[in-house]
């Protein structure tokens, strides 16, 4: 993901930048007859690229980051969208349109990925389609499917720590289907452990078949990095540290010298997997992720100004003045309510509505390795102190002489803020989502997760709703 240097990457960029009129070839192909999708290399590649295009949906990359930040203590949501206000106030209903869109778009992507995973291995006699092509295409779809299931289970289920993963997760669908409506399957939700095991299997299989360098598409490192995050969330410290260390020591990725990697069109060595948005994507997607990221930006140059820093986050940065992650990646402005505050500039391309979405980067791997080594009493790769000081040095801060878990979680907060990590970091560490928050934002509370959407509850008598959601 660090560079675009192969014909496959050039082809993807070209296909992502086609006009609306020519977009048929890059839409997810789950609704198109298999004999149409799988009769040429171009249409097969179109089905794969179409699934990447679905991953650009603002409900999967954009909205999820926004919601995860303002449900926690990083973002003060001042927007006027009623569905987002519900979530911000921990009053989310099953009829909430924002969570309905996340559910539908997530399962639309899963259905599209399933179509390739199930059908492509049986395809023969297609010109220019090799067995290696087939393995790589299927592996890419397994990565995207795993990424999407991970996002869904994090949003719609209590974390692993709630009951050791025996609590309800989300339904697992492995067959192709049309659209995002899965009620036709009439499935009960699998447990969190079962969903995590499915994600793990997809990623391990993807690692085996993905190339080490795949341009702007998912590559073996992308799957390894997502596995590291999965193992961290499950407190499997050895595996988390090991997979994070594989990324750090691979030579494929490296810590960038500065913070110019944000919106760098995936060319930075910092990136392990990033959602690349182009100026032509926004008008083609009703809720493109680039559109959603405008919530993070101040109103002056065209942002919405709905999601500024909380005072709590501002205070954390103020405790150590000179932090480049604040000085260079924030901007003072008035929010949508007219209050003087600060906004992140991690999604800077407001003019073209084409900010890239951060998903996995090598910085997170350093933080995962540090936490896993510390909590597991391990010594895989660098020490927790060295890993944290490496990030602090880049940020222009003095080095520490020792670190504990609070130090690591604080560095995670300041390094990864506005990238969608904070909610799960708090929940998995049994911490309240809001400073001094009440019972409604406490770990395990009903509304710190989403209800199963109303359409699924109405049409599927076998599925169980989350407690407290009607």
Residue 218 token pair: 């998912």
pLDDT at 203 over 90: yes
| Cα(390)–Cα(322) distance, integer angstroms | 16
Q: What is the rounded average pLDDT for all residues in the chain?
A: 88
More confident residue, 73 or 25: 73
CATH of domain 7-450: 1.25.40.390
344-363 mean pLDDT: 85
Q: How far apart are CA 461 and CA 470, in angstroms?
A: 15
Which pLDDT belongs to residue 6? 33
Distance (Å, rounded) from C-alpha 80 to C-alpha 108?
28
Task: Tell me which range, 51-60, 116-125, 270-279, is most confidently predicted by mean pLDDT.
Answer: 116-125
Per-residue pLDDT tens digits for 373-385: 999 999 999 999 9
Taking the CA atoms of 296, 302, 304 and 308 in sequence, report the sign of the dihedral they define: positive
Region 282-306 average pLDDT: 63
Lowest mean per-residue pLDDT among 328-337, 348-357, 456-465 = 348-357
**Domain positions in the chain:** 7-450
pLDDT of 180 reads: 86
Which of the two residues, 262 and 390, has the higher pLDDT score? 390
DSSP 281-301: HHHHSTTBHHHHGGGGS-TTT
In 339-419, which ranges are E strands? 340-344, 357-361
CA distance 168 to 189: 6
- Residues 6 or more apart whose CB falls under 8 angstroms from that of 197 comprise none
Task: Tell which residue, 3, 12, 49, has the closest CA to residue 28.
Answer: 49
3-state SS of 102-114 is HHHHHHHHHHHHH
CA atoms of 41 and 464, how far apart (whole Å): 42
How many helices (H) and strands (E) are present in the chain, helices listed first? 19, 4
Which helix (DSSP H) or strand (DSSP E) does residue 354 occupy?
A: none
**284 pLDDT exceeds 60?**
no
The residues, ordered by sequence, that sit 6+ positions from 404 with a Cβ below 8 Å of its Cβ are 374
H or E stretch at 332: strand 330-334
- Tell me what pLDDT residue 29 has: 41
Most confident among 12-16, 52-56, 243-247 (mean pLDDT): 243-247
Percent of the chain whose predicted confidence (pLDDT) is above 90: 73
Residue 349, pLDDT score: 77
Q: What is the pLDDT of residue 14?
A: 39
CA within 13 Å, CB half, 64? 28
31 pLDDT band, cuts 50/70/90, is very low
Write out the two tokens for 177.
Answer: 């289907």
Percent of the chain surpassing pLDDT 70: 88
Query: Which pLDDT does position 10 carry in this prediction?
Result: 34
Q: How many residues are given for the chain? A: 470
3-state secondary structure of 130: coil
Banded model confidence at residue 197, pLDDT cuts 50, 70, 90: very high
Q: What is the pLDDT of residue 243?
A: 98
Confidence band for 223, pLDDT divided at 50, 70 and 90: very high
Distance CA 357, CA 360 (A): 9
pLDDT per position as a tens digit, 323-351? 999 999 999 998 888 899 999 999 887 77
Confidence bin at 80 (pLDDT 50/70/90):
confident
Task: Name 177's Cβ contacts closer than 8 Å, sequence gap at least 6.
Answer: 30, 107, 111, 114, 184, 185
Average pLDDT over residues 395-412: 98
Residue 17: the pLDDT is: 35
Q: What is the dihedral of CA 280, 269, 69, 226, to 10 degrees?
A: 100
Higher pLDDT, 176 or 2: 176
Report the pLDDT value the prediction gives residue 9, as an integer from 0 to 100. 39
Q: Cα 82 to the chain's mean position, in Å?
A: 24
DSSP string for 451-462: PPPHHHHHH-TT
pLDDT at 285 (0 to 100): 45
Say what the pLDDT of residue 337 is.
85
- pLDDT (average), residues 86-115: 96
- The Cα 409–Cα 386 span in angstroms is 15
């Amino acid at each position: 993901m660090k560079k675009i240097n192969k014909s496959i990457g050039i082809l993807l960029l070209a296909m992502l930048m086609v006009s609306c009129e020519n977009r048929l070839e890059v839409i997810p192909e789950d609704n198109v007859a298999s004999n149409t999708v799988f009769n040429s290399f171009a249409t097969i590649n179109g089905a794969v690229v179409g699934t990447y295009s679905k991953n650009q949906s603002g409900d999967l990359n954009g909205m999820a980051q926004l919601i995860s930040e303002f449900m926690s203590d990083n973002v003060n949501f001042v927007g006027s969208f009623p569905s987002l206000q519900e979530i911000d106030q921990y009053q989310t209903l099953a009829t909430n349109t924002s969570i309905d869109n996340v559910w539908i778009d997530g399962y639309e992507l899963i259905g599209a990925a399933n179509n390739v995973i199930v059908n492509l291995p049986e395809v023969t006699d297609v010109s220019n389609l090799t067995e290696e092509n087939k393995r790589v295409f299927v592996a890419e779809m397994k990565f995207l499917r795993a990424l999407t299931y991970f996002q869904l289970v994090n949003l719609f289920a209590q974390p692993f720590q709630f009951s050791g993963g025996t609590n309800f997760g989300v339904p697992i669908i492995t067959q192709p289907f049309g659209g995002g409506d899965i009620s036709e399957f009439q499935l009960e939700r699998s447990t969190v452990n079962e969903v995590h095991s499915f994600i793990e299997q997809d990623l391990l299989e993807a690692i085996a078949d993905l190339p080490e360098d795949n341009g702007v598409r998912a590559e073996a490192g992308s799957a390894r990095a997502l596995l590291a995050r999965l193992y961290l969330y499950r407190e499997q410290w050895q595996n988390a540290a090991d997979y994070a260390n594989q990324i750090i020591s691979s030579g494929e990725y490296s810590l960038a010298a500065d913070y110019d990697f944000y919106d760098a069109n995936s060319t930075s060595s910092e990136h392990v997997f990033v959602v690349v948005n182009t100026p032509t994507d926004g008008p083609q997607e009703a809720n493109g992720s680039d559109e959603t990221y405008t919530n993070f930006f101040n109103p002056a140059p065209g942002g919405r100004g709905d999601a500024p820093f909380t005072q709590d986050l501002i205070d954390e940065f103020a405790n150590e003045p000179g932090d480049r992650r604040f000085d260079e990646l924030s901007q003072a402005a008035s929010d949508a309510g007219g209050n003087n505050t600060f906004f992140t500039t991690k999604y800077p391309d407001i003019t073209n509505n084409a900010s890239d979405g951060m998903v996995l980067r090598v910085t997170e791997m350093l933080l995962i390795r540090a936490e896993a080594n510390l909590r597991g009493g391990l010594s895989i790769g660098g020490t927790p102190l060295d890993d944290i000081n490496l990030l602090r040095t880049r940020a222009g801060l003095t080095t520490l002489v020792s670190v504990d878990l609070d130090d690591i979680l604080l560095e995670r907060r300041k390094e990864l803020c506005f990238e969608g990590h904070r909610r799960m970091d708090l929940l998995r560490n049994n911490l309240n989502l809001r400073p001094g928050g009440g019972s409604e934002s406490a770990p395990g509370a009903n509304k710190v997760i989403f209800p199963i959407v109303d359409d699924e509850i109405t049409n599927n008598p076998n599925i169980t709703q989350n407690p407290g959601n009607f």
